[in-house]
Structure 1
């Protein structure tokens, strides 16, 4: 069954709900003339601008509809730490990670009273018994409000709803105290962390349908000629020092799935279909877009990221995923059209991605996986032995934020940092290494995001309490993960293949020529705020209102210049 057929099956019950208007008694402040009643913000995880450019001629469904609106093909997640949590934190806040506080998916806090010093971006580590892998979901680490929060403060009748495959996507887009927040949790289906919030009836019905679908075997998708032309197998075998696992073949998959395999479900187009079905169901049951105030629905579509990690970005698998998502988005929009809701859509991504080096080498001769010797635990052990220090003196991964163990004395910390700098800078795969002090002294960039230096990109990711003691930049086309069957490819670097993403705006009669100028994902929030007449204090966010047809940008709000805060 294709994802599109699955979505249609799930959505039958939801469509019947999209009818009656919502009644709210209290008067609301006015909105902008002609403002939409429902804003829909969609993030397609790991959907790079390179993929948008490549697949745009193939789209005939939802992506094609959005392409008829206003398309900025050179959007940027402008910061260096191009991971899921930081990227999602920029989309509805209008702020870069240096202000949102979400510098990375997982950081280290050596002051917390638990053995596990790693902290997940969307957890509440103060909950007894919590760990960075077994956590209580929370938005406590997000330091700034989201668009939905500001809408509710302005219009008490406004609804703020977030639905996603990943908890961190739903948390960072929905923010603090949304009306509903749902994300997928394996055998539990879609769950929420919100206390005292009743589960909508449609949610239970869709969860039942998803569980029934997972229980059935999936025979695989029939690739159209465009996708079949991308079918070429590559063997991921790993090395003795990398993560374990038998060799695995990628490049020609069709998403065959055994009955009951929930992991394969999340690594396939079916996953996004389920998320969109939940979004449609909640729109109907909560009557979003039918009240006296505008509502916000944030949707985090995670399957593209899982497909990219498991199979890479350029094979038959990614082709099937994107064409299926195109159909699913088209079906989702068609349901909303039949309801008569006046809605507007913005779509972007939390980051891009780099293909598997085995395939990328055909066009990029320097493409490679990171040397396993750069694993912070291995390098830290070697540094500890050389300096006569015990324990894992470094924490982190292969690149990006690297922490020095907080239990070390100040003099030993300096020795470790000096030795780590020497060893990183001597490695042929390392482009640059910046210390925390160097990053903190760097002014925030004010130029176009495509012109930023490497340290300026790192500066936009910097949080003084949460960032590492070092930031390691690998050379371009070096994937920050070793060759392993478990993970085919990844992201997380300051290079533009991880930073550049599409930014799309659509509502009826919003057509405009494609735009090539570089913009940022932080520009989405002030643009949508202007669309509905939500006032923002001057220079209160990093982003700026964009020149989108039908949007009157207030003078000075968010500034036409960058870096004035």
Structure 2
């Protein structure tokens, strides 16, 4: 059977309500008492369109609200941290400062020059791989922070399967912030586990201690049941999420984790009485399993089909629980980025140009080749893979840096898998983009995620369908992070009881979410402080964005 929130809640010992249709009433004329902002990590516009006809639960409800199927994480750096930083700030990464999951600070004192986006690198012992989680790098306030500033009584809560999702949506002023820490849900450094979180963690531990049988495959998933050979005797595409007791890695890359996250979110809403006071409260929920499933198995096998189907069911149970609470809530659901399937399956589906990146484009390989040609030793280039930002060593003299840069640009541009290389100077000279995000040029997309103090000396963009993972047998098989629409386009869905449904096919941005929600609750946000614009989603109130 499909995993269910009800099953997880029973194991945790929390109240369970039976699933029922959402009640229908006239659209309220007052602000909602609770904002529920949900991110489904790696839930691309392509996945939304592919499975929309099969939704029967929470995603079906949202699909019958206000639908923007062509939402955009409009920037080039389509990774988890930058994407989440846009959802509730109204700002692109060029303003949030979150330009990648990992950037490089070559002036940092420690030997590890990589800096994790949600790390406090000033803490003793923190490194990019074993870090102290923190919101310090986020340069702008979240919606919750703005709400709390306007009314200190506002409660701001954030819960997610990833620390960077919880931190970038919850911000620095969250009253409670929890994320999956590998074995249980944890908070930031110095935050003690509350009795409620301890109870949820105990329930999750009970589930983890049991073997999980294979999930039943829905009929509409049957065509996906095809094994794809990725080499080394390994295949993907036919998985059912069977798990041995205690396997936390398999738990993370499965529908189980999202079920647990929604149970924790629902429990926090009830325990804190969110939405039951005079002010509007906000909870952000990061559902991270879709991303782990996409990386581990790709986007077009039984694994993703089961994941999306189960997320639909889980969200239905979660919304039903909120309905029965009587709280007047408004939902927005989107994604931090899209995703691309593994090239081995893409080729079978008629994309002969789908391929894996050559190892020659890795920073280490490029450093060695450039060093051999110029007679230089040591690490000359830093970067987090074959695409994205590259940084030139600061240990070099200015003339040496110029030679390394010229040689690197020449070598990279000569590679047939490379679409473009932009220098920091070129990107910085490009005006911040405006207009429909689907019409932006590559350098405009790059400008939207350029922040000079953290961005690299140059940016490498691979051609479409080139996956920046050279060997799928050593870890992930598929990924994201490109400026192409399969990674940029995401759905943006709004729902509130009594909302008048409509669908807008024109391109909008995730940065439009904050000003849209702010308008719903009468919160003034200076236009010069954000990049987004208000979307008129209330057909019963004339122009719900009037004056905003």
Same fold flag (TM > 0.5)? yes
Gaps of 5+ in 2: 18-27
Give the SS at the match of 2:472: coil
Aligned-CA RMSD value: 1.5
Q: Distance in 2 between matches of 1:80 and 1:554?
A: 28
Whether contact under 8 Å (2:75, 2:448) holds in the other structure is yes
What are the residue-to-residue correspondences of 1:378-397 with 2, within 5 Å?
Answer: 378-396=365-383, 397=385
Displacement of 1:391: 1.1
Whether contact under 8 Å (2:41, 2:286) holds in the other structure is yes
What are the residue-to-residue correspondences of 1:138-537 with 2, within 5 Å?
Answer: 138-187=134-183, 189-193=184-188, 195=190, 197=191, 199-237=193-231, 246-361=232-347, 362-396=349-383, 397-485=385-473, 486-537=475-526
Q: Distance in 2 between matches of 1:260 and 1:10?
A: 16
Q: Distance in 2 between matches of 1:292 and 1:266?
A: 37
Change in 2 beyond 3 A, CA 1:341/1:15: farther
Render the CA deviation track for 1:332-384: whole Å, top value 9, x for unaligned: 00111111010000000000000010011122121111111111111111111
Q: TM-score when scaled to structure 1?
A: 0.92
Render the CA deviation track for 1:384-434: whole Å, top value 9, x for unaligned: 111111112111110111111222211111111100110111110001100
Q: Distance in 2 between matches of 1:261 and 1:538?
A: 47
Whether contact under 8 Å (2:80, 2:336) holds in the other structure is yes
Whether contact under 8 Å (1:80, 1:494) holds in the other structure is yes
Which residue of structure 2 aligns with residue 23 of structure 1? none
Q: Distance in 1 between matches of 2:242 and 2:79?
A: 28
Q: Distance in 2 between matches of 1:408 and 1:62?
A: 55
Q: 1:46 aligns with which of 20, 42, 46?
A: 42
Whether contact under 8 Å (1:345, 1:506) holds in the other structure is yes
Q: Are 1:543 and 2:529 matched, yes or no? A: no
Whether contact under 8 Å (1:169, 1:300) holds in the other structure is yes
Q: Distance in 2 between matches of 1:500 and 1:10?
A: 37
Whether contact under 8 Å (1:99, 1:463) holds in the other structure is yes
Q: 2:61 aligns with which of 65, 76, 90?
A: 65
Which residue of structure 2 aligns with residue 243 of structure 1? none
Deviates more, 1:542-551 or 1:142-151: 542-551
Render the CA deviation track for 1:180-236: whole Å, top value 9, x for unaligned: 00000112x0000064x5543221111001011111111110101111211100121
Q: TM-score when scaled to structure 2?
A: 0.95
Render the CA deviation track for 1:458-490: whole Å, top value 9, x for unaligned: 000101011111111111111122132211100
Q: Distance in 2 between matches of 1:497 and 1:264?
A: 26
Whether contact under 8 Å (1:257, 1:265) holds in the other structure is yes
Which residue of structure 1 aligns with residue 23 of structure 2? none
Change in 2 beyond 3 A, CA 1:46/1:491: same
Whether contact under 8 Å (1:181, 1:194) holds in the other structure is no
Change in 2 beyond 3 A, CA 1:330/1:73: same
Q: Distance in 1 between matches of 2:527 and 2:355?
A: 45
Q: Distance in 2 between matches of 1:293 and 1:82?
A: 34
Which residue of structure 2 aligns with residue 101 of structure 1? 97
Whether contact under 8 Å (1:48, 1:502) holds in the other structure is yes
Which residue of structure 1 aligns with residue 24 of structure 2? none
Q: 2:77 aligns with which of 69, 76, 81?
A: 81
Q: Distance in 2 between matches of 1:310 and 1:116?
A: 27
Gaps of 5+ in 1: 17-31, 238-245, 558-565
Q: Distance in 2 between matches of 1:554 and 1:259?
A: 51
Q: How many residues align?
A: 532
Whether contact under 8 Å (2:11, 2:207) holds in the other structure is no
Q: Distance in 1 between matches of 2:220 and 2:93?
A: 38
Displacement of 1:110: 1.1
Whether contact under 8 Å (1:346, 1:504) holds in the other structure is yes
Q: Distance in 1 between matches of 2:96 and 2:312?
A: 31
Q: Distance in 1 between matches of 2:16 and 2:152?
A: 27
Whether contact under 8 Å (1:7, 1:328) holds in the other structure is no
